Amino acid sequence: MAGNTAPGQRLQGIAIRLTGAAVVIAALGLTAARYDMVPKLTGFMAFVGGGLVAALALVLGLIALVRGRGQAGPGRGKLIAAVLVSLGYAGFIASRPLLAADVPPIHDVTTDLANPPQFETLPLREDNLAGVGTVDNWRRIHAGAYGRLAPLTVPGTVAEVTARAARLAEAEGWKVAVSDPARGHVEATASVSYIRFKDDVVIRVTPSPDGAGSRVDMRSVSRVGVSDFGVNAKRIEAFLKALAAG
């Protein structure tokens, strides 16, 4: 009996320590990336790596639980807690590809495919066609996934609506890089998640065709990555809805 218990307890200890290591790896990587001590993708890969460690801890923890079933030895409560933590962590990592499968592999989203608003102050990433190859491919994928996105027409002059858009951007916590009400031009940067991935936004305001108000077009672009997990489209929809509500 003693010969069976010792290996089980050792396995239990390994599972608990691996779970702790996974959490530490994730915390260090994400926090370092949050404060730009390492590149954002490096911090994210540390998070993914921690998930792999958590997956191993989960397997070992489950084996230890099975071996020790019916026993209430020391550390069993810690083992159960470690298994739950590892399950949540590894499960979250495993769900990311499933989430990405539901959205298109693009990171540049706009209300005007024919003539997207252009960045003048914030630089557009050099590899902005990553994942699509050509502008025509981007437009085709974008139209199929986000055909619902459209310009917003709201009452007010170009200057008035632009000023409102800039105030709303600031209220959203975005860092406004430029606001030019006379030209109907706003650029800002939004931060996403704990790691603070940066997405750049440009807003273009022009007189509406009927002269009754102003047309608002918007573009949101992720600085890194291929798929944005739908974040940019959601940002545009939420912002325009808030702007319409006034």
Evaluate whether 220 touches 107 at the Cβ level (below 8 Å): no
Of all residues in the chain, what percent carry a pLDDT higher than 70? 95
CATH 3.30.530.50 applies to domain 108-245: yes
The string of pLDDT tens digits covering residues 211-221 is 889 999 999 99
For the chain, the structural domain boundaries read 2-100, 108-245
Residue 152: predicted pLDDT: 97
Evaluate whether 220 touches 238 at the Cβ level (below 8 Å): no
The string of pLDDT tens digits covering residues 163-174 is 999 999 999 999
As a whole number of angstroms, the distance between CA 54 and CA 86 comes to 5
Residue 3: predicted pLDDT: 45
Q: Which residues contact 42 (CB under 8 A, 6 or more apart)?
A: 29, 32, 33
pLDDT at 16 > cutoff 60? yes
- pTM of this structure: 0.84
Residue 224: predicted pLDDT: 92
Mean local confidence (pLDDT), 43-58:
96
pLDDT at 238 > cutoff 50? yes
Residue 37: predicted pLDDT: 95
Evaluate whether 21 touches 53 at the Cβ level (below 8 Å): yes
pLDDT at 7 > cutoff 70? no
Query: How do beta strands 175-180 and 152-154 pair?
Result: unpaired
Q: What mean pLDDT is reported for the chain?
A: 92
Of all residues in the chain, what percent carry a pLDDT higher than 90? 81
